[in-house]
Structure 1
Amino acid sequence: MKILTWNLQRPKYKNQLILDKLQEFDADIIVLTETSSFINLGENYNSHSTENLFKGYDGITDYRNEENRTTIWTKYKIVKQHKTFDNFTSVCAEIKTPFGFLNVYGTIIGVFGGKDERFKSDLKSQLLDFDKLTGNICIAGDFNVQLSGYAYPSHTARNSLNQIFDKLNLKSLTSIIPLNVEHIIVSNDFVNNRTIYIETWNEEKTLSDHIGICITLF
């Protein structure tokens, strides 16, 4: 099984290079952030997205109606959708996978970065969302937090996330990637005794301003 996450930096047209890269990895569960309807993975995928944005929302004058902050794409059946604290930012769906049911929470923590009051508010609200999740869990997206190395944006943010991961028995599969704020966090029970293979791309930041990450579970 492949789980992928990537922040696309608000594509304003059909970017075939991005679509080609996503097709190359052919992941089973994909969480795209800062995405848009121009990035459509086709009929082989089901999807669940946050609300479309619009000019002036959150004070951003150049938002376009095609944009949304987070979309979950999956080849598997979506059996249930869960409410999140902000339907413009975070999205959650229960997915029936060959390894069992998985509650996938896709998100951006801090839609304007990790250093402002909005980040702190988003983090607080999302920690409450995480704490309500049950069963096998996958949390993926742009956290605006480095989980290893330099503690960006703060030790407090990192510790708050690690505490909820410990409480929910979750394993960070991406914390070993240096200088990285994109993460895939999965229940230990879901990944136990499985081989984990990590791939990254866009290190030169030519397709967007974030690297992409794909986790393969064998």
Structure 2
Amino acid sequence: MKIISWNIERPNKNQISKIKFIEDLIAVENPDLLILTETNRCVNFEEQYFELHSETLPTFHENQNYFEGENRVSIYSKFPFKNEVKTYDSFTSICGLVETNFGELIVYGSIIGSFGGKGLHFENDLEKQKNDLENLKGNLCFSGDLNISFSGWKYPSAKVIDETKSFFELQNLEILTENYENNAIHTIMSKDLLNGKKISTKMIEIDRKISDHNMIICEIQK
């Protein structure tokens, strides 16, 4: 199972070359699960994936202007969704249950702090999403732009990093992307699902004209 997580930095329908680059790169990598953040419904994979999207943003929301079709999180899956799971905020996270070749998997797509890793938006998102995760039962893939760097520069703070890592440990979750320095994009998965499997990760560096975040790829093999 191949999982890609990527913040594509707010494309709009007029950025034809940017959209084509995004769509073409994802087609080449061909993930089974794809979690996009800071995205837009103008990014279109036609019938390659089943899809879940956080609520489309109004043109003005939380003191911020948005392009037509923007949404914060989308999940694309080659596995059909058995159902959608309600999250605390329909704008900031999206969650669904899929039947994978490793069994049932809850996929929770997230952006924590739409305006960065500090302030009330970040603190509220982090607390509320932790509550969501605590209430989910079954194997989990939690992925997206967490605005937390688990290695390298201590962003947003050592306290937030330590507390978040401790929370994942208590939930029996493993941060597959922990060792990428200064990286805010992460995939976290249930240890029970990973047990006895081969796990590999890689980062694809992205031109800053496309996005200020790199693409993160995780693969799980029997």
Pick the TM interval, shorter chain: over 0.9
**Paired residues of 2:98 and 2:106 also in contact (CA < 8 A):** yes
CA shift for structure 1 position 11? 0.4
Alignment of 1:1-218 (within 5 A): 1-13=1-13, 14=16, 15-61=19-65, 63-218=66-221
Cα distance in structure 1, aligned partners of 2:89 and 2:47 = 27
What is the alpha-carbon root mean square deviation over aligned residues? 1.2
Cα distance in structure 1, aligned partners of 2:203 and 2:209 = 14
Q: Aligned with 1:141: secondary structure?
A: strand
Query: Which ranges in structure 2 are unaligned for 5 or more consecutive residues?
Result: none
Deviations 1:89-137 (A, max 9, x none): 1001011101000001101000100122211111111111111111100
Q: Aligned with 1:87: secondary structure?
A: coil
Cα distance in structure 2, aligned partners of 1:153 and 1:4 = 23
Q: Aligned with 1:123: secondary structure?
A: helix
Q: Aligned with 1:186: secondary structure?
A: strand
Cα distance in structure 2, aligned partners of 1:18 and 1:43 = 16
CA shift for structure 1 position 160? 2.4
Cα distance in structure 2, aligned partners of 1:57 and 1:166 = 34
Cα distance in structure 1, aligned partners of 2:219 and 2:132 = 26
**Paired residues of 2:206 and 2:212 also in contact (CA < 8 A):** no
Cα distance in structure 1, aligned partners of 2:7 and 2:195 = 28
Deviates most, 115-124 or 176-185: 115-124
Deviations 1:117-171 (A, max 9, x none): 2111111111111111111001000000001233200122212221221111111
CA shift for structure 1 position 57? 1.0
Cα distance in structure 2, aligned partners of 1:203 and 1:73 = 20
**Paired residues of 1:131 and 1:164 also in contact (CA < 8 A):** no
Q: Aligned with 2:62: secondary structure?
A: helix
**Paired residues of 1:171 and 1:186 also in contact (CA < 8 A):** yes
The amino acid that maps onto 2:91 is: F
Cα distance in structure 2, aligned partners of 1:25 and 1:123 = 30
Paired residues in the alignment total 217
The amino acid that maps onto 1:81 is: E
The amino acid that maps onto 1:4 is: I
Cα distance in structure 2, aligned partners of 1:160 and 1:41 = 37
Q: Give the structure-2-normalised TM-score.
A: 0.94
Cα distance in structure 2, aligned partners of 1:160 and 1:88 = 25
